[in-house]
Amino acid sequence: MMDGQTLWTVIQVILGSGIISSLVLWLTSRHKPSVDTGHLTVEFMSQVMQDNKDLRGRVDNLEVKVGDLQASVRAKDREVDRLNRDMATVAEALWVQHEWQENGATPPPPTIGADALRLLHQRRATD
Amino acid sequence: MPTRLYRPAHARITLWDRLTAHPWSATVVGSVWTVFGVMLCWTWITPGGGPSRVIVTLPDYLAAGVSISLLVAGLLILTAVTWGGKDSTSWRIELVGLAPGIAAWLSYGLTSFSTGSPWFTTLGLAFALGGLLRIRAITQTWQRYASVTEQEPRPAGG
């Protein structure tokens, strides 16, 4: 524990230091930019334009890739359509055969399922 | 081709960065300091009538110094927080406010210690330490800002 007089002296020193520090901070903290802000602005805009150009190039490349992918998707769609048509033909032929069998026709007429049998053989060969 | 002017910092955030990166706390600190400054001024102006039992142990001129320093510091910090002009001016005002505030809190903490009041001793020293951290944060930010803006060479003709 400090005696009262010492404490008061210490507090005087602290408060005085605070005031002096405050003045010193005010005087030394003035911001003086040593750069030419106009030059910085021009450089920044130039950089932005270069970035813009680069981005346009990247967008062009992406558009080409997207075009290729879309063509690939269209080809796949066509393949799916063809398979759908084949499956519809097989299903229809099997249904007709089923109806003949239900009605007691044995064996089923040779005219049905010619295309279906061809497609089934084809499918087995590819599987 | 010009180089990039603004580069993101990829350095990991350190404990020091976390300690010094809370500008919102300046509002709280400024408000608390102002309220304490008002209460100390009240006690100083009307001895025995104010809420502080610590400041009355000081002579009048020291009580005035501590009270006014703390009040002015709080008001300056609040001014800085709400400053509508340039950031650099706001920081300067805050720095000017922090110095007497730290001195006032140190004085208050020491007085509390001598009067056997551990709570207010801790509070005073904590605010003084927080103020020092804030000063360091501001000056560090300035140094980083200067190091970024002054990397670019000046034009030959400029």
pLDDT digits (tens, 9 = 90+) for B27-65: 888 889 999 999 999 988 887 777 888 888 888 899 999
* pLDDT surpassing 60 at residue B98: yes
Residue A10: closest CA among chain B residues belongs to which residue? B107
Report the gap between the CA of A59 and the closest CA in chain B (Å).
21
The three-class DSSP label of residue A1 is coil
* Chain A residues touching residue B59 (CB < 8 angstroms): 8
pLDDT surpasses 90 at A33: no
Average pLDDT over residues B128-140: 87
Q: How far does A58 lie from chain B, in Å, by closest CA? A: 19
Residue-level pLDDT at B157: 45
Is residue A113 pLDDT above 70, yes or no? no
Mean pLDDT of chain B: 81
Instruction: Give DSSP secondary structure letters for chain B.
Output: -PPPS-----SPPPHHHHHH--TTHHHHHHHHHHHHHHHHHHHHHSTTTSS-SSGGGS-HHHHHHHHHHHHHHHHHHHHHHT--S-HHHHHHHHHHHHHHHHHHHHHHHHHHHHTT-HHHHHHHHHHHHHHHHHHHHHHHHHHHHHHHHTSSPPPS--
More confident residue, A122 or A109: A122
Confidence of residue A76 (pLDDT cuts 50, 70, 90): very high
Q: Which of residues 7-46 of B touch A (CB under 8 A)?
A: none
Instruction: Flag whether pLDDT at A85 surpasses 80.
Output: yes
Candidate from A7, A12, A22 with C-beta closest to B96:
A22
Task: Please indicate if any CB of chain B lies within 8 Å of the CB of A21.
Answer: yes
